[in-house]
Structure 1
Amino acid sequence: MHAPVELAKSYRLLNHGPTVLVSAAHGGQRNIMAAAWSMPLDFNPPKVAVVLDKSTVTRRLVEGSGTFALNVPTRAQAEATLAVGGISASELPPGQDKFAAFGLSAFEAARIDAPLLEGCAAWLECRLLPEPHLQNRYDLFLGEVIAAWADPRLFADGHWLDAAAGSTVHYIAGGRFFATGEAFDAKAMPRRS
């Protein structure tokens, strides 16, 4: 059984990977924004891609600093994710950032200046891999992961653990999220002769 999907909404069929919060800092300013379009690109060295619209303050900070962080929020942070994704830092009073506006706690990254949001499932500190054509034409930013951290209750020994401790969220539009569910193992089906 299948039903047609409006092409303008077809990206949602694939866009159930974890939503991330992109944080950056430059010139005494810091910001955080939600990004539903991010993905891993490579293993060694690890690389990621994230879409940062031309109109965002975060993009300006990433371009200025050459670094950014991907914060992977938990279900408990879904409201904060919507909040920072629903307003531009340019709409805030002068001198205020989204961390202060929404009472979000942050801590210092190890290798970059971007703040890391407390309470997330994971954090990736990234060095921008400049690709002006991709950035200008498609708003696509590539980064090399130079440090990574995870809540050991959620991710250990290279694997996601039981989501009961705090699942990641997957934004699907209109204020609606999915949360990661119960982990299970499977074996490949046998080949037919």
Structure 2
Amino acid sequence: MKELELQKAFMLIEPGPVTMITTSHEGKHNIMTISWTMVMDFTPRFALCTGSWNYSYEALVESGECVIGIATADLVDTILDVGTTTGRETDKFARFGLTPLPASQISAPLIKECYVNIECRVADHIKQHDIFVLDGVKAWINESHKDKRILHARGDGTFIADGEIFERRKRMGDKLPPGV
């Protein structure tokens, strides 16, 4: 085995899906791109990590809600542009040609161009680490979306899209949650 530079170790764990988190605060919708998300259990409960440097942080704290938009590989450049632009001075929906759709349970909008949107409420905010624990309250899928390859950030400016699927449902048996 060859030693790996410790500061690069996160790149092997980070590749969760790239998400586009929408918020709504004081009448203004915003989007942030984030890859620091995780599933916490099957309820569905999720977590994301962001800090006060991010314009959406205050909206998450104040509104207590957001939408997790699952982005696909066809949106890679838009995802990058959204993530490198602040919503403080920019309407990211208008600037990047994204379509806000009304959510049914919360005020933050869905993103029409995303393959999946999950409406969430903040269940907890672990301030020491800026982790938001989210409870999914409604989910939407755009089955007509042509590209269904989920995009993953590698943490170094490169991305990977889902590829080959290894089907092992029978082997997993009763370890799968009901309904999946």
TM-score of the aligned structures, taking structure 2 as reference length: 0.87
C-alpha separation in 2, matches of 1:151 and 1:51: 26
Which of 68, 71, 79 is 1:73 aligned to?
71
SS of residue in 1 equivalent to 2:128: helix
C-alpha displacement at 1:68, in angstroms?
0.6
C-alpha displacement at 1:185, in angstroms?
2.1
Change (3 A) 1:55 1:153: same
1:118 aligns with 2:116: no
Measured against aligned partners, the alpha-carbon deviations of 1:73-96 in whole angstroms (never above 9, x if no partner) come to 011111111011112222x2xxx4
Q: 2:23 — aligned with what? A: 24
Question: Computing the radius of gyration over CA atoms, which structure comes out larger, 1 or 2?
Answer: 1
SS of residue in 2 equivalent to 1:138: coil
Measured against aligned partners, the alpha-carbon deviations of 1:116-174 in whole angstroms (never above 9, x if no partner) come to 1122121111011133xx1x2111101100001123367xxxxxxxxx84201001134
List, as ranges, runs of 4+ consecutive aligned residues in structure 1 with deviation greater than 6 Å: none
Unpaired segments ≥5 residues, structure 2: 172-180
Unpaired segments ≥5 residues, structure 1: 155-163, 189-193
Percent of aligned positions with the same letter in both sequences? 30
C-alpha displacement at 1:100, in angstroms?
1.6
Alpha-carbon RMSD? 1.8
Residues 82 and 175 in structure 1, CA contact (< 8 A), matched pair in contact too? no
1:78 counterpart letter in structure 2: V
1:57 counterpart letter in structure 2: Y
| Count of residues in correspondence between the two structures | 170
Residues 30 and 61 in structure 1, CA contact (< 8 A), matched pair in contact too? no
TM-score of the aligned structures, taking structure 1 as reference length: 0.81
Change (3 A) 1:152 1:103: closer
Measured against aligned partners, the alpha-carbon deviations of 1:6-31 in whole angstroms (never above 9, x if no partner) come to 22221111111211111100111111
1:56 counterpart letter in structure 2: N
Q: 1:84 — aligned with what? A: 82
